[in-house]
A and B are shown apart, each in its own frame.
Chain A
């Protein structure tokens, strides 16, 4: 946390943010992805702009890009995605990330007569998306956004997806706005009837850094006695750790080799391991506990525990951050068993 209640993500945080961005990209896969732009203007720093984006040059050029580069997708309903880096941040009294920030923007162009229905579906879809990554899905709420006076309620509506912490803390992780377009500037054919009409736009804006902070906060705010950081296992920057208890110095070398081997197997399977050497050796039980507690605090969902016995029969322990229990698995289960866990 910096002064002025600004926050900044450090390297682990950026890794986390990156994963969030990946998830966003794979959500609604049919979208036309229009790349990254840099914007000096605020995305929605004032109320009005939240609903007037359709008048910006950027939106116009994106629309052209859609029609020209993706002619098959240029029908209602369709989706556009782009990223935008900006130096002004959305107002958020509780969490304010240092500039520059990245906005993940999805524009959903839909038939105007079903706009409300789409809008509500999208709200629900987005809310569930957030809930899936959370340690407490009940913290998300859809809160109507008060319209500026000059806006016509028939033409635009907005909601924020709010994540709450305790009594006070509220962070808007995503903004959804519905704007009806009029006139002939933007027209798309209706996929069903082929009739050309001015679409309604549902725009989703996610402040990547803010959202990342919100999710990190979410991982800490769970009311458990332990200090685990309950990060979602799909998003966790480090999915797996390796720890080893060596009592007999004679076997230290073999154990180290085994650690190295398993680390290698996991890495080749595409699992994200803790940084550094990738494994930890402990001299005694208390040191091991200390290590595991630290992993919990880092939000590592699983730790593989090796011991001298593993050298005999290949059995090792898969310890879970969430249950704090370990299950016995065999070395031949690695990495498939873990891949299964992280696939779902």
Chain B
């Protein structure tokens, strides 16, 4: 079908879009579902493509979304397209290779406004309006009502008259717009103790009945059954602060999600309509910093001159610091806070007036910050969708049930079981190692040679010369004569007990290192009183644990084949021999070392697929740190060079030679070469490297492999359990549950919810931050407790509906390049690969780079993303070596260089116009350019324009990103949000260069945040009150929906994707949308939160999986076509609430 069409391009001026025959399977489907017939005009499926053969959305959709632009191509465009095709072909893209996607027929609700851009502006405006009406009076309020002189010690809410300070108990604050702050007494649990709020009219104070309890009779609540075996805190609605439901409400606070988690109505399944404005989020948007800058802010050191500029523009996040930055004046007093942190309820009671005043002081400070900060925010983020998205992000809601407690219980038990198992293995290994004492065999053991093998002896004191020894007594009863005789015969031996040393040595005859692992046995066996405390005593190495220094040695661990060794100064490392004779070597068992290490094992290893996954998951964090740091390069010492020829693994050189026979190399630490590894069995460490790098040097010892496995399994829970167990779950009593849940007989189940404490814009890029849920990994079979997310479970009758935006950031980056360089989707190689490339036929970006450079696709993927996020060639080199320890430094460098040349392209310089007379106007390389500038005694920037990338698949994208990033006031491409003041350079080109990678990264990531905010707005528009926002993390979005609305919500998700992408492309000057990105690949309709609806989340703590272990069935995964069918047809404009909206 391609040949004649290609000729069309050359000659025809009209026919590029055309109808093709309906796909047979599609036609059959339409027949099966006669309800589809109610679409007003049944149009035949169609196929459209653009000039570079990227399939576009069909005419029926195009008409609805881009109503004012017709699809028309000019002669110039076609001429340009020929150029693009040549370029595509040069980069190995075969534009004929893609296969068509079936058409989708939809009738969308009418856009609100002339075009898609107006549409989003107007619906976002509508959504934020009710909240702005509450917020703006607070912002404009010059003078808050005056604080009452005295606070009433009454449980519940009290309102204070602004004039005379009269206290009146109220059910809840009378106004809907409040600045609010909650205080918690840490020793009494997480529930609120007191709170103050102020509206433009008056002050309020809330006091917990817990505090006034000695006066009030508080009915004791019977806890729901959530596993009584564990002493876990149990929160109910009655402990929380009521704000009332009904209609929009707005609460302003500093880190307001913390306060929100203590508001009663937030836990109800029905959304209360209250939204939250967080001054931390506003502050991050206006003055956010990179992690490097944060470290600088925290450090006590005198700042470097180049840092002074941005230091004035930002601060850390605490209210104290933020207030100082925006309001100046006297520092806030934070001293009373300590009573809340360390004190008891009684102390709070005694200092009641002081503490309420402190709390009210924070409210006032928050208000002052808001007054300054909000206008700045509104100015820098002009689009209403930014605020709308932020409000929505702040209302996350995670429903849970009794399974939550069960999960914690099982994870904790499994954790304990595994630690016991690991400990047992270590104990066994220790026992076994003891026998090395014979004939000093330990001297030739590669791990234990440097332990303390000293042995103590049990010696008797000299008997007193004249006095007889005191006679040892014994209760004797019913002994036979013979027994009596023997006792008498050996009585003198028993008598010598008094000659034993008063402090008996532990285990005389055993080596010192082993004795350190043992405990003294209990004395006085006969008395049963000591039973309790002695119960724990067991003979043998009972004190051993995987965290001890001896553990890796007992397991004979090797790194890349070399035995591990510990040095106090450098932490854990390993020994690499450099001499082949043993003469004069005293302690190190060099002979054995040479035998073992003659053929380095590591030479055969290569990173596994699982490892690429992990590297991929860790990439954003790693990069963030990497980008902001300035790297130092050191000269190689001679010794080090000698090593480099011999050893090419990942160990870190630290200039240590032991016994003049081997090098000591440090194990690599995730935070960089200057850190020391304290425990090779710890989390970050184990995850970073493939299974083969850290192994046991004793292949017969299965215990070592098992202990490493166990350490891997336990790490996730160990690092997260405090946060997970600290989640504030509020359990709902029967009367607060929807009647369906109570009537149906819930089988002893309890229901509750978590309000995750999200900072809606918590990073420089305005991404949301939350420590537990937003970093939660997907479940992995070998990670204990990693089924965490699937423990968010919709109550019966509800569904969780959501999707992941397919390769969101890649698309954003590539479409920016496409629009900028060609004005055509898919016209740059990166664009085409993103839109039409497929993994199956090797035409996607990762396959193509992998092929070109000669590495695996998985590795290419990680490195590709790293590059698009702004990482340089150096970082790619590091990754390459991490994945392939066999690559030498030069090999890795060559590969990284080649990859960058293919993708990013060459950096070229163009002369400024004033030099055209003296020099040829052509592309100069960096070297040539600096030489020419030097010859003229000028700076590079004076002679040349800003350099450009040329000739790579991604050159267009990088040129566009750099153009945005180097602007004086960089703005996100979609919603026009500005970069943080802390990174807006006014410090000249050097400053600009310094933060450039971070800024480039910001363009894409902050663009992705815009994208998310737009989706939130669109979903709200399409579904109105029928969905409740649940959680969003990066490119993932989930809603809680009633079951009968689930299919409609799924379809709304698909349409949201279509409209959001259309908006984005329209903003950057394109008026069409490729079919491949128009809809989600699938929308998940599920009962639990998980990546894919069929994931069974088997982990060590959930060995039977969700289906068998928890009785949770797989969910559904709906493509757009399926969603249309299930949602009752393709005419969305007929949904009742949308029709209603239209009528209004």
The number of chain B residues touching the other chain, given as a range, is 35 or more
Name the CB-closest residue of A to B1107.
A153
A257→B457 CA distance, assembly (Å): 26
Asked whether A328 lies within 8 Å of B747 as measured between CB atoms, the reply is no
A143→B410 CA distance, assembly (Å): 18
> For residue A344, which residues in chain B have a CB less than 8 angstroms away from its CB?
535, 537-539
Partner of B497, one of A257, A330, A341: A330
A217→B497 CA distance, assembly (Å): 42
Question: How distant is A169 from chain B, measured CB to nearest CB, in Å?
Answer: 14
> Is A144 engaged at the interface, CB distance under 8 Å to the other chain?
yes
Partner of A331, one of B406, B421, B424, B490: B490
Spot the interface stretch: B426-434, B620-628, B1039-1047: B426-434
A127→B1103 CA distance, assembly (Å): 13
> Is B935 engaged at the interface, CB distance under 8 Å to the other chain?
no
- Known A261-B487, A261-B490, A315-B458: A327·B703 in contact at CB below 8 Å: no
Partner of A324, one of B435, B490, B500, B701: B435
A143-198 at interface with B (beta carbon < 8 Å): 144, 153, 157
Asked whether B510 lies within 8 Å of A313 as measured between CB atoms, the reply is no
Partner of A136, one of B486, B499, B703: B703
Asked whether B437 lies within 8 Å of A113 as measured between CB atoms, the reply is no
Spot the interface stretch: A199-207, A244-252, A332-340: A332-340
A337→B523 CA distance, assembly (Å): 9
Name the CB-closest residue of B to A223.
B700
> Is A142 engaged at the interface, CB distance under 8 Å to the other chain?
yes
Partner of A257, one of B406, B425, B489, B525: B489
Asked whether B417 lies within 8 Å of A340 as measured between CB atoms, the reply is no
> Is A317 engaged at the interface, CB distance under 8 Å to the other chain?
yes
> For residue B438, which residues in chain A have a CB less than 8 angstroms away from its CB?
324
> Is A38 engaged at the interface, CB distance under 8 Å to the other chain?
no
A116→B748 CA distance, assembly (Å): 13
> Is B80 engaged at the interface, CB distance under 8 Å to the other chain?
no
> For residue B525, which residues in chain A have a CB less than 8 angstroms away from its CB?
336-337, 339-340
Question: How distant is B1007 from chain A, measured CB to nearest CB, in Å?
Answer: 46
Asked whether A325 lies within 8 Å of B437 as measured between CB atoms, the reply is yes
Question: Please, what's the 1-or-0 string for B482-517, where 1 marks a CB less than 8 Å from any CB in chain A?
Answer: 010011011001101101100000011110001000
> For residue B537, which residues in chain A have a CB less than 8 angstroms away from its CB?
340, 344
Name the CB-closest residue of B to A329.
B458
Asked whether A325 lies within 8 Å of B510 as measured between CB atoms, the reply is yes
Question: Please, what's the 1-or-0 string for B680-724, where 1 marks a CB less than 8 Å from any CB in chain A?
Answer: 000000000000000000001111001000000000000000000
Asked whether A138 lies within 8 Å of B493 as measured between CB atoms, the reply is no
> Is B934 engaged at the interface, CB distance under 8 Å to the other chain?
no
Asked whether A317 lies within 8 Å of B703 as measured between CB atoms, the reply is no
Question: How distant is A114 from chain B, measured CB to nearest CB, in Å?
Answer: 7
> For residue A226, which residues in chain B have a CB less than 8 angstroms away from its CB?
435
Question: How distant is A220 from chain B, measured CB to nearest CB, in Å?
Answer: 15
Size of interface on A: residues with Cβ below 8 Å to B:
50
Partner of B509, one of A257, A260, A326, A337: A326
**Residue in A127, A315, A323 whose Cβ sees the most chain B Cβ within 10 Å:** A323
> For residue B434, which residues in chain A have a CB less than 8 angstroms away from its CB?
323-325
Asked whether A138 lies within 8 Å of B406 as measured between CB atoms, the reply is no
B931-981 at interface with A (beta carbon < 8 Å): none
A201→B496 CA distance, assembly (Å): 60
- Known A138-B702, A344-B539: A264·B483 in contact at CB below 8 Å: yes
B381-420 at interface with A (beta carbon < 8 Å): 406, 410, 413-414, 417, 420
Question: Please, what's the 1-or-0 string for B527-543, where 1 marks a CB less than 8 Å from any CB in chain A?
Answer: 00000000101111000
Partner of B421, one of A138, A315, A322: A138
Partner of B493, one of A117, A136, A314: A314
A95-117 at interface with B (beta carbon < 8 Å): 113-114, 116-117
A261→B437 CA distance, assembly (Å): 32
> Is A224 engaged at the interface, CB distance under 8 Å to the other chain?
yes
Asked whether B508 lies within 8 Å of A323 as measured between CB atoms, the reply is no
Question: Please, what's the 1-or-0 string for B1105-1116, where 1 marks a CB less than 8 Å from any CB in chain A?
Answer: 000110100000
Question: Please, what's the 1-or-0 string for B746-770, where 1 marks a CB less than 8 Å from any CB in chain A?
Answer: 0110000000000000000000000
Partner of A223, one of B538, B702, B1104: B702
Asked whether B486 lies within 8 Å of A340 as measured between CB atoms, the reply is no
Name the CB-closest residue of A to B410.
A120
> Is A137 engaged at the interface, CB distance under 8 Å to the other chain?
yes
> Is A258 engaged at the interface, CB distance under 8 Å to the other chain?
yes
- Known A325-B435, A344-B538: A313·B460 in contact at CB below 8 Å: yes
Can you list the 5 inter-chain pairs with the closest CB atoms, starting with the nearest?
A314-B493, A323-B434, A261-B486, A328-B458, A324-B435
Given A116-B1109, A137-B420, A322-B431: 17 more A-B contacts, CB < 8 Å: A138-B702, A157-B1108, A224-B432, A258-B490, A260-B486, A261-B487, A264-B486, A310-B493, A314-B493, A320-B431, A322-B540, A326-B509, A328-B457, A330-B497, A339-B525, A340-B525, A344-B537
17 contacts between A and B (CB under 8 A): A131-B421, A136-B425, A137-B425, A138-B703, A157-B1108, A223-B700, A223-B701, A257-B490, A258-B490, A315-B460, A320-B431, A322-B540, A323-B510, A325-B510, A327-B509, A329-B458, A341-B539
